[in-house]
């Protein structure tokens, strides 16, 4: 990695990047617990979503890990109370994965939120279950 870049594209040293990551992480906590409970960094947590949703989340986390970025998953945002799929601690960008374009509209107008549309064959997939490969 040639260097670290912050929210606005400014070049940062490792110390500044550490402070930025900690500042972003302080805005989140583990769902179902108090606001003082931190979220584990670079750990992939899943919720009962579709297989394709969780696979897309895994792919994004893997891509960020290879790039040397830090992230948190399934973290509850203190300000809005929303549980976010993936948050980049390096840039503060939020990634939400959606199968339905109607559900994706709920993120319209939210700054720093990137909606990733996930293709799914809903006819052969029950909610929260991986595909049956033995057919």
From the list 110, 47, 105, the residue with the least C-alpha distance to 79 is: 110
Note whether residue 132 is domain-resident: no
pLDDT (tens digit, 9 = 90+) per residue, 75-91? 999 998 999 999 999 99
pLDDT tens profile 59-70:
999 999 999 999
Q: Is the pLDDT reported for residue 101 higher than 60?
A: yes
Of the candidates 46, 49, 55, the residue with the CA atom closest to the CA atom of residue 103 = 49
Question: Within a domain: residue 130?
Answer: no
How many residues comprise the chain? 135
Provide the pLDDT confidence category of residue 130 given band limits of 50, 70 and 90: low
Q: How many domains does the chain have?
A: 1
Quick one: DSSP state of residue 82? P
Q: Is residue 135 part of a domain?
A: no
Task: Provide the pLDDT confidence category of residue 12 given band limits of 50, 70 and 90.
Answer: confident
Average pLDDT, the chain: 83
More confident residue, 135 or 95: 95
pLDDT of residue 22 exceeding 80: yes
Inside any domain, residue 90: yes
Token pair for 107: 């993120």
What is the domain extent for residue 26? 4-121
Q: Cα torsion at 128, 77, 63, 126 (round to 10°)?
A: 10
Residue 88 lies in a domain: yes
Q: Does some domain include residue 127?
A: no
Q: Which residue in this structure is represented by tokens 């947590």? A: 45
Number of H helices, E strands in the chain: 3, 7
Q: Would 18 be classed as within a structural domain?
A: yes
Please report whether residue 66 resides in a domain: yes
């Amino acid at each position: 990695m040639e260097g670290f870049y912050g929210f606005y594209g400014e070049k940062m040293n490792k110390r500044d990047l550490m402070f930025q990551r900690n500042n972003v992480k302080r805005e989140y906590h583990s769902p179902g617990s108090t606001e003082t409970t931190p979220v584990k960094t670079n750990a992939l947590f899943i919720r009962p979503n579709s297989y394709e949703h969780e696979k897309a989340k895994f792919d994004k986390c893997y891509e960020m890990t290879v790039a040397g970025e830090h992230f948190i998953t399934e973290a509850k945002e203190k300000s809005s109370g929303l549980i976010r799929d993936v948050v980049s601690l390096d840039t503060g960008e939020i990634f939400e994965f959606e199968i339905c374009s109607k559900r994706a509209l709920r993120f319209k107008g939210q700054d720093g939120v990137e909606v990733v549309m996930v293709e799914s064959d809903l006819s052969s997939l029950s909610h929260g279950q991986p595909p049956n490969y033995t057919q």
